[in-house]
Amino acid sequence: MTFSNGPGVSYVRAGEGPASWLVGDTYTVKATSESTGGAFGLIEASIPPGSGPPPHVHTREDESFYLLDGVLEIAVGEEITVARAGDFIYLPRGIPHWFKNPSVNPARTLVLITPGGFEQFFVDAGTPARPGVPAPPISPDEFERVAELTGRYGHHIQAPTGASTR
């Protein structure tokens, strides 16, 4: 939706925005580089128990998390901390990190990507999500496809045990 009283203003309602399943999580794009003049991308992530992306590094953008619900273990290098609803984490580019939901309840977080652009990775690498259906767990085929696309976005991931990054 756009407002008639101002160019560049955008409004995305709750439950709207392109949603993708990726590495067992659901990522819904709320703001894009295009809609923010390149300033940022914003994603709402739903992370089921035991899920989260493998260790990775962003080389072109900084990443920030604001935890809305639940708990996430967040690793930065070798250090792991537990984030809870209301916590904010800022990760500058170039820092190896990962996160995982260690609880029995889903976690939800807003992911702010600056500058914008990397939010398109979730659309390109993911599978379109179906409303009301949980994301399937990551498969070796999905990991290979994701690993192939990461380089295009200046992103590097580490393979889980037994997976190939080509």
User: H/E/C letters for each residue in the chain?
Assistant: CECCCCCCCECCCCCCCCEEEECCEEEEEEECCCCCCCCCEEEEEEECCCCCCCCEEECCCEEEEEEEECEEEEEECCEEEEEECCCEEEECCCCCEEEECCCCCCEEEEEEEECCCCHHHHHHHCEECCCCCCCCCCCHHHHHHHHHHHHHHCEEECCCCCCCCC
Give the number of other Cβ atoms within 10 Å of residue 102's Cβ. 15
β-bridge pairing 88-91 and 41-47: unpaired
Residue 159 is predicted with a pLDDT of 53
pLDDT at position 150, please?
A: 79
Place of tokens 């923010």: 36
Tens of each residue's pLDDT in the chain, 166 residues: 545 555 678 889 998 999 999 989 999 999 999 999 999 999 999 999 999 988 889 999 999 999 999 999 999 988 999 999 999 999 999 999 999 999 999 999 999 999 999 999 889 989 999 988 989 888 777 777 777 777 787 777 765 444 433 3
Residue-level pLDDT at 116:
94
**The tokens 């920030």 sit on which residue?**
64
CA angle in degrees (0–180, nearest 5) for 52-147-151: 115
State pTM to two decimals: 0.86
Q: Which residues pair with 41 in a beta bridge?
A: 113
Examine residue 115 and say whether the peptide bond preceding it is cis (omega within 30 degrees of 0).
Answer: yes
Quote the pLDDT of residue 7.
64
